[in-house]
Structure 1
Amino acid sequence: MKPTSIWQRLRSRFAREPARTDDGGAHSDQAAQSLRALLDDPQIPTAVRSGLAADFARLESMLGKLERGELHIAVFGRVSVGKSALANALLGEDAFTVGVLHGTTREAGQRRWQEVAGGGVHLIDTPGIDELDGEARERLAYDVAGVSDLVVFVVDGDMTQRERDALATLARTERPLLLALNKADRYGEDERERLLERLRERAAGLVRTDDVVAIAAQPAAQKRVRVAADGSEQAELVEQPPDLAALRTRLLAVLEREGRTLAALNASLFAGRVADQVGARIAEARRELAATVIRQYCVAKALAVALNPIPVADLLAAGALDAALVMHLGRVYGLPLTKTEAGTLIAVITAQLAALMGAIWGVHLVASALKGLSAGVSTVVTAGAQGALAWYATELVGRAAERYLVAGKSWGELGPKRVVADIVASLDRDSILREAREEILRRLRTRTA
């Protein structure tokens, strides 16, 4: 499904009901509730909130925008195509800087559109998208598009490839787009129509045909001959009013039909993206914490097995640590396990491991027996080998339990046999055993030193 399909379905629905005005109050209320729920969610860790501070600040801003009934229209385009002139012409005042030098607009500016002030519509002028003063300003322009409800993309001739790419990027932000051919007064009627047709072809799939219009935000002054009372003639330049009728008609039509719904959908889409990021951050934090927990239990179990002088009895202690590990992982993933549940889960995992790795557990039992009959260095070496196997077994149990918890206490369609087999195949047994043996021997030597 294309990213713009949501907007296309929305606008098609309104197009089938031309007499209907926007009834987005319910949508705005729903969107506001979703934003507030995300902002106030007590389950989001402080570290995740801090890492996404800018996004949460934007959520606060969008919530205020919804509650105030505001709509934001961003004006985009290359440097000096007349973006600020267009915004000023719509406002009816010189609110934004207009100049012939590249980069006149250095940061996004916002003003209330007085003509439809009752609707709380705001215009946002942005820096040029091509020759920006560094990547920061370019990011600023796209960030503004991300929180705008509608975007007017301004060109002053046939689109360049850079403009076409920028238009495609803006289309991926899932905002309705209007394409305005500015400085149309420079062209004759036939040339202007051919150029509009060319723009519609270049923007196909990105902008609706009806939303490609010609305007003149700051028309060139026209020469006029004035005849004085004495019959003498004098040439003068007469300023011309902006010609924005086509764009104004399209803007007001969209705002009247879809205004509050556009704002609500925009806010909901952004909240959804933030929620996905929150979920990803929480999942990553849980994975990192789970890895730390599993390693801690690997060390504890390996040492418990290596230091226990009674043959086979160390395996019983290892089982208790496995149960504690599984219950600890349940708390990490917010899915607490009872002792009975933990015992059942371990039984399932170990049964699958025994079927897959019976030879390893046989060596484990032999090492357990040898340890009680050995002394001195041989005991340390044997204990190190047995502890390394215990470490590896704990790693497998922990990873299998983690997979079960991530799936919501379920083995999924694959079942425990396939899940455990996949985990065994994914772990490098030799490197784990080598690391475990080195760590165990280091700790044993430290204890005997």
Structure 2
Amino acid sequence: MSRRLRLLIAAIGIAALAWLLLATLERGLALAQRYMALPEALRWLLGAVLALLLAGGVAVGAWWLRPRKPRAPVAAPDRPSLEGRLAALRDAGADTEELRSELGELDRRRLGGRLYIAVFGEISTGKSTLIGALVPGAAVRSDARGGTTRDVAHYEGTAPDGTAWAIADVPGTAEADGDARERMAREEALRAHAVVYVCAGDLTRTQGEELRWLGDFGKPLVLAVNKADQWDDAERERITRHLRASSGGVPDAVVMLSAGGEERFTRRLADGSTEDVRRQRKPEVGGLLDALARLVAPGAASLEPARENAVLAGLHDRTAAVEQAQRAADAERIVTRYARRAIVGAMAAVAPGTDLVIQGALAAGLVRALADLYGVRVTDVEVEALLGQVRMTFRTGTSVVLAVAGNALKAFPGLGTLGGGVLHAFAYALVFDSLGKALAATLAERHQLDQAAAGERLRDLLGDTRGNRLRQLAELTSDALRDR
């Protein structure tokens, strides 16, 4: 573009801006004249409204631009209460060895006094190569395939200040069918004093969620952008600013680096032939080392409380999952026990055509047993109200229950030829199994005796004609009759 053309465009732009300012000023003066021509009372009213709008806008702007307080770390239970829960699970027959070994590892690292740094991130972002740059001479596995790290490995090295540290190479996340390895990586990240989250560019939605999950535990966190040698200085600065803004202040530092590694390319020679060249790129990790030196300067002892809080918080979630599975197994045993009792009771007093819930005592016992299991207090009134709703559901759906029972028994000729007694016994098994499972699911989800939710699940289960479930109930009926 010539100099004259640039000057012409600049002049046109200045003229347009001046015209816009004059038009705005003229419009403002016109509005002011119209405002002053209004009656005094109306002027005061409009002035008060405008002042309120202006004050509200300033308040909203101040709130939006206020400095964000750092998020408090995830709260963890105290260790004695956690150990008590593990002891209760062990007494109940649950396998808690892995959870208890986590506490042992927590103590071992605290007594060792060594700094632990976890290198975390998705597969194929260069984590293993980065560890090779941080700990020269470390035998790190790396090849062209994604997700080469299959286990947690520690490499001992020296921090910039001379302190001994151990760098953990963990499996990459976002790998197909890699849930177990991803869980392993997350657990090791919680055990570390500080975490380096590695990415290779802009953050994806999944990476952003992982970064926020790490930030929730309040330990030193560095966002490291690998393969930065593909950008110039201006692009690096722009990417760094963008990542600081998009990460919401979660990482303590954002650094650009190049982990190095092997570079492969084809070179054309002077005679027209080609050759494959393999060479090592020089790593550039000075920014990461400086950031880590600043963040772990307090030392392992000072960083230990945040690390212990993170480990105990993770253990709390894992223990809760085991408790949930244990309660589900206990609920299944309770439902099966009461269904068996209902089968025996049905054979003792069969009255075709009567209400399917004639065994009120058994139904009340089932409700109370499940409520006790899930720690929900129920009154006699609540139990009776629930059973009243259940009776109404069964009374209107008796034909459906008997039809399902009859069709299921056709698959078991030996049972199907024993007459109406067996049919009603199987119907009772279906009734109590449906009631127990509906109630257990409701108590687990809502932690209260919600009649509406339990009734809705009950109706769904009564119409459930899946072969596996009906086969199990038929086998339960057969076993109960054989024992009787």
The TM-score with structure 1 as length reference comes to: 0.57
Identity of counterpart residues, as a percentage?
18
Q: Does residue 398 of structure 2 align to residue 354 of structure 1?
A: no
Superposed CA deviations along residues 272-293 of structure 1, whole A, max 9, x for unmatched, are 3332232233223322332232
1:55-78 deviation digits (Å, cap 9, x = unpaired): 542343234434666542235662
Alignment match, 1:108:
153
Give the counterpart letter for 1:282 in structure 2: E
- Output one character per residue of 1:59-104: Cα deviation in whole Å (capped at 9) or x when no partner: 432344346665422356627855333335xxxxx6x358999899
Q: Contact 1:181–1:215 (CA<8 Å) still a contact in 2?
A: yes
Tell whether the 8 Å contact from 1:145 to 1:170 is kept in structure 2 after alignment: no
For 1:50-449, list aligned pairs within 5 A. Answer: 50=95, 53-66=97-110, 70-75=114-119, 78=126, 81=129, 83-88=131-136, 96-97=138-139, 108-111=153-156, 113=158, 116=161, 122-124=165-167, 126=169, 144-152=188-196, 159=200, 171=211, 174=214, 176-179=221-224, 193-194=233-234, 196-197=236-237, 199-200=239-240, 203=243, 205-206=246-247, 211-213=254-256, 246-256=287-297, 263-308=304-349, 318-333=359-374, 341=379, 344-359=381-396, 381-399=419-437, 401-402=439-440, 405-406=443-444, 410-412=448-450, 416=451, 418-429=452-463, 431=465, 442=478
User: CA distance change for structure 1 residues 319 and 356 in 2, over 3 Å: closer, same or farther?
Assistant: closer
- Distance 1:80-1:273 versus aligned 2 partners, 3 A rule: closer
- Residue 135 of structure 2 aligns to a residue whose secondary structure is helix
Higher RCO (C-alpha 8 Å, min separation 6): 1
- Please give the TM-score of this superposition, normalised by the length of structure 2: 0.54
Matched residue of 2:341: which SS?
helix
CA distance in structure 1 between the partners assigned to 2:395 and 2:354 by the alignment: 19
Distance 1:142 1:390 in 2: 47
Q: Which runs of 5+ in 2 are unaligned?
A: 1-66, 216-220, 262-282, 402-416
SS in 1 for 2:419: helix
Measure the CA separation in 2 of the matches of 1:281 and 1:11: 32
Q: Distance in 2 between matches of 1:315 and 1:107?
A: 57
Is the CA contact 2:133–2:285 (under 8 Å) kept in the aligned structure 1?
Answer: no
Q: Aligned in 2, Cα 1:212/1:272: closer, same or farther, shift over 3 Å? A: same
Given that 2:435 and 2:458 are in contact with CA atoms closer than 8 Å, whether structure 1 keeps it comes out as: no
User: What is the alpha-carbon distance in structure 1 between the residues aligned to residue 464 and residue 238 of structure 2?
Assistant: 65
Q: Which amino acid aligns with 1:38?
A: L
8 Å contact kept, 1:298–1:395 = yes
RMSD of aligned Cα (Å): 5.8
Contact kept? 1:392, 1:429, Cα under 8 Å: no
Q: State whether residues 82 and 217 of structure 1, in contact with CA within 8 Å, keep that contact through their aligned partners in structure 2.
A: yes
> Number of paired residues?
363
Deviation, 1:216, is 9.6
Mapped partners of 2:375, 2:159: distance in 1? 51
- 3-state SS of paired residue (1:43): helix
Report the Cα distance in structure 2 between the residues aligned to 1:36 and 1:335, rounded to whole angstroms: 24
